[in-house]
A and B are shown apart, each in its own frame.
Chain A
């Protein structure tokens, strides 16, 4: 009987799952539940919804392991599924997203402004606002103000520590686009957090 699941590599755990080893599946969930949930939560800002989307991401991942290509990093595949689920959800709720950040394909500030609607159309409950503040106060709020694509890219790079190439795979965009997202996200964060960045 295999022991030390926490010491096994992601690939070994995947192989275990493919052999029907339930504990390998549990270890995968244990290993990635926080990063996946954190990313999704910071994208949707709704704990219940983030739970549902995270759960769905893990279920889809584990139920489709036969389709996983081992030449790719497992975490990238998992995050890709989680990201796609979340983005699909956000696109369905496009009105809310557009209302804050402009249309997803708006690149220039003018385009973003032209496709933006008033912030008041976003219905965030008071308890969610309170939670956002307590979670990471000003940094969380600054992250929250980024467009979903920028937010995802910067969180994957600076919180989860993924490489640009991995982020490119996860978000299914060219490497140059990832760099642009991160550059713009950093620029916006620098402005929002200027008072915290002063020496």
Chain B
């Protein structure tokens, strides 16, 4: 009489009828009462265990878990967040500059008995002059390269008024640019836990 089936072999015979087992083992399994009983008991126990049903957790389980889960933030969202932070810095800098220029202008010209409106007009005039001189400087560059035949240098006669006006203009343009970028780069929808369906 050959050796009795091992536990692995009993499981194999119980689940797959022993088809992959060697012929000698199959012959033993067919004739050995003890092994046959083991195979039958294995199947019977399997039949009982599969009756164990799966148990559900209480309703709302998914939401409770999701409330504590921090999913990774996608790369493009991280890039946008970084960009948003940079533009916040630019906006703050531009606003500070604009306030400084305005305050300085008022301090400089307010003591001369000018109204705020007159100061504004004066500063804007300076800014306009600066813009014109900038254009002239561009013209000079063009002249140097032989593209045009007339021009002037940028800083030939730059007065304090023009400098302040230029700063104010730059500040306002910075603010405008920042506001536009903020609108364009509105925060992407965040990962919000949606209402549970469970």
- Residues from chain B with a CB closer than 8 A to the CB of A22 are 66, 71, 191-194
Interface size on B, residues (CB 8 A): 37
A70 interface contact, C-beta 8 A:
no
A62 nearest CB across to chain B (Å)? 5
Within 8 Å by CB of B77, from A20, A35, A143, A190, lies: A20
Q: Given the interface contacts A22-B194, A62-B65, A179-B8, does A33 sit within 8 Å of B56 by beta carbon?
A: yes
Q: Given the interface contacts A30-B62, A34-B56, does A158 sit within 8 Å of B46 by beta carbon?
A: yes
- Residues from chain A with a CB closer than 8 A to the CB of B58 are 47, 51
Chain A residue nearest to B198 (CB atoms) is: A30
Which positions 50-70 of chain A face chain B at CB distance < 8 Å? 50-51, 54-55, 58-59, 62-63, 65-66
| B69 and A59 form a contact (CB under 8 A) | yes
Q: Given the interface contacts A22-B193, A22-B194, A197-B41, does A159 sit within 8 Å of B48 by beta carbon?
A: no
- Residues from chain A with a CB closer than 8 A to the CB of B64 are 55
| A55 and B45 form a contact (CB under 8 A) | no
A29 interface contact, C-beta 8 A:
yes
Within 8 Å by CB of B71, from A20, A29, A47, lies: A20
Q: Given the interface contacts A20-B191, A37-B56, A197-B48, does A62 sit within 8 Å of B198 by beta carbon?
A: no
Interface size on A, residues (CB 8 A): 45
| B71 and A17 form a contact (CB under 8 A) | yes
B186 interface contact, C-beta 8 A:
no
| A33 and B62 form a contact (CB under 8 A) | yes
Q: Given the interface contacts A30-B198, A197-B44, does A139 sit within 8 Å of B72 by beta carbon?
A: no
B52 interface contact, C-beta 8 A:
yes
B9 nearest CB across to chain A (Å)? 12
A41 interface contact, C-beta 8 A:
yes
A91 interface contact, C-beta 8 A:
no
Chain A residue nearest to B69 (CB atoms) is: A62
Which positions 1-41 of chain A face chain B at CB distance < 8 Å? 17-22, 25-26, 29-30, 33-35, 37-38, 41
- Residues from chain B with a CB closer than 8 A to the CB of A34 are 54-57
Contact with A along B185-198 (1 / 0, CB 8 A): 00000011110001
A14 nearest CB across to chain B (Å)? 11
Q: Given the interface contacts A20-B74, A25-B66, A62-B71, does A186 sit within 8 Å of B45 by beta carbon?
A: yes
Q: When chains A and B are docked, how far (Å) is the Cα of A196 from the Cα of B43? A: 12
A173 interface contact, C-beta 8 A:
no
| A189 and B45 form a contact (CB under 8 A) | yes
A95 interface contact, C-beta 8 A:
no
- Residues from chain B with a CB closer than 8 A to the CB of A21 are 71
Given contacts A38-B54, A190-B45, 18 further A-B contacts (CB under 8 A): A20-B191, A22-B71, A22-B192, A22-B194, A33-B56, A33-B57, A37-B56, A37-B57, A41-B55, A55-B68, A59-B68, A65-B72, A136-B53, A139-B52, A159-B49, A183-B7, A186-B45, A193-B45
Instruction: Give the interface of A toward B (CB within 8 A).
Output: 17-22, 25-26, 29-30, 33-35, 37-38, 41, 47, 50-51, 54-55, 58-59, 62-63, 65-66, 135-136, 139-140, 143, 154-155, 158-159, 179, 183, 186, 189-190, 193, 196-197, 199
Instruction: Give the interface of B toward A (CB within 8 A).
Output: 7-8, 40-42, 44-46, 48-58, 61-62, 64-66, 68-74, 77, 191-194, 198
